[in-house]
């Protein structure tokens, strides 16, 4: 919870309507240390993003409900997914098809059939590189994209002030631990302020209001400070 990468094991989201291929991809990737999520349609693949950005997405172009290119476009607009590596897997493997996929925002294009060993090596390469440039914090359905300075709850952007954003980021980085008021104040304002404890409490109250029904994710620990628990649906 609250770490730059959202899952203890790197997660690969698989979106393909071929059930046999989904199973084969999972069987090949899981022994290499990856957690896999299998979805057979574009809608279900997009819905899987509600749990947080995966570390990599393998996406088929031909899906039963929408074009893989449309799914790709929507993924890029989803909170925290602008830098997630996306590899297209498709039987359409002409040069023109590859150019179209890459021009639409894919990071790689692998034509079917392909070597499973080669795919695993490509996945390892992309995940290794992307993990050094993504700056996303997550706790449950709460996501902070530090690259764009935006916060999302359940996929919906929160309208936060700069101070509220800093407080929330501080709590996320606390990884569920109790953070003393003094520590939060120093990290948010850079130094102690007169009446800073009361000011912090006021900002936390407003922040809770913006979390709506998930306001209890920010817990007050009497005489100590605050801690964040994962907000869920």
Query: Do residues 58 and 126 both lie within one domain?
Result: yes
Does residue 174 fall inside a structural domain?
yes
Query: Do residues 106 and 171 both lie within one domain?
Result: no
Number of domains in the chain: 2
What is the Cα–Cα distance from 56 to 128, expressed in whole angstroms? 10
Query: Do residues 101 and 176 both lie within one domain?
Result: no
Does residue 5 fall inside a structural domain?
no
Average pLDDT score, the chain: 86
Query: Do residues 107 and 179 both lie within one domain?
Result: no
What is the Cα–Cα distance from 78 to 169, expressed in whole angstroms? 19
What is the Cα–Cα distance from 11 to 30, expressed in whole angstroms? 10
State which residues form the domain around 48: 11-130
The answer to whether residues 208 and 215 touch, using CB atoms and an 8 Å cutoff, is yes
Does residue 86 fall inside a structural domain?
yes
Does residue 2 fall inside a structural domain?
no
Query: Do residues 142 and 44 both lie within one domain?
Result: no
Query: Do residues 144 and 123 both lie within one domain?
Result: no
Instruction: List pLDDT tens digits, range 175-206.
Output: 889 999 989 998 888 766 555 678 899 999 99
Query: In 3-state terms, what secondary structure has residue 122?
Result: helix
Does residue 91 fall inside a structural domain?
yes
Instruction: List pLDDT tens digits, range 27-41.
Output: 999 988 888 999 999
Query: 153 falls in which pLDDT band (50, 70, 90)?
Result: confident
Closest of 228, 215, 231 to residue 168, by C-alpha: 228
What is the Cα–Cα distance from 88 to 77, expressed in whole angstroms? 17
Instruction: Describe the strand order of the beta sheet including 86-90 as a list of residue ranges.
Output: 35-39, 11-15, 56-60, 86-90, 108-111
pTM, two decimals, is 0.62
State the pLDDT at residue 5: 34
> Of 80, 95, 130, which residue sits at a domain end?
130
* 210's tokens: 């913006």
Mean per-residue pLDDT, 147-152: 80
Does residue 196 fall inside a structural domain?
yes
Query: Do residues 95 and 198 both lie within one domain?
Result: no
User: How deeply is 75 buried, as exposed, middle or buried, from its count of CB atoms within 10 A (0-12, 13-18, 19+)?
Assistant: buried
Instruction: List pLDDT tens digits, range 81-140.
Output: 877 899 999 888 778 888 888 888 899 999 888 999 999 999 988 887 776 556 778 888
Instruction: Reply yes or no on whether the pLDDT at 229 is more than 70.
Output: yes
Among 5-14, 15-24, 192-201, top mean pLDDT goes to 15-24
State the pLDDT at residue 51: 79
């Amino acid at each position: 919870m609250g770490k730059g990468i959202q899952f203890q094991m790197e997660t690969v989201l698989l979106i393909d309507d071929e059930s046999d291929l989904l199973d084969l991809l999972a069987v090949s990737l899981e022994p290499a240390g990856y957690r896999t999520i299998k979805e057979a349609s574009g809608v279900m693949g997009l819905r899987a993003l509600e749990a947080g950005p995966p570390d990599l997405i393998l996406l088929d172009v031909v899906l039963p409900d929408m074009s893989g290119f449309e799914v790709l476009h929507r993924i890029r607009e989803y909170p925290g997914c602008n830098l997630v590596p996306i590899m297209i897997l498709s039987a359409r493997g002409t040069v023109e098809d590859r150019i179209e996929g890459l021009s639409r925002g894919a990071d790689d294009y692998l034509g079917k059939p392909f070597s499973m060993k080669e795919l695993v090596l490509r996945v390892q390469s992309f995940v290794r590189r992307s993990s050094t440039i993504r700056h996303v914090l997550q706790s449950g359905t709460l996501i902070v994209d530090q690259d764009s300075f935006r916060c999302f709850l359940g996929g919906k952007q929160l309208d936060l002030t700069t101070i509220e954003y800093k407080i929330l980021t501080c709590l996320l980085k606390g990884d569920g631990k109790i953070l003393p008021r003094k520590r939060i104040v120093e990290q948010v304002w850079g130094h102690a302020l007169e009446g800073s404890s009361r000011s912090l409490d006021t900002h936390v109250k407003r922040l809770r209001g913006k979390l709506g029904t998930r306001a209890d994710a920010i817990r007050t620990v009497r005489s100590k400070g605050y801690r964040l628990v994962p907000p869920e649906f």
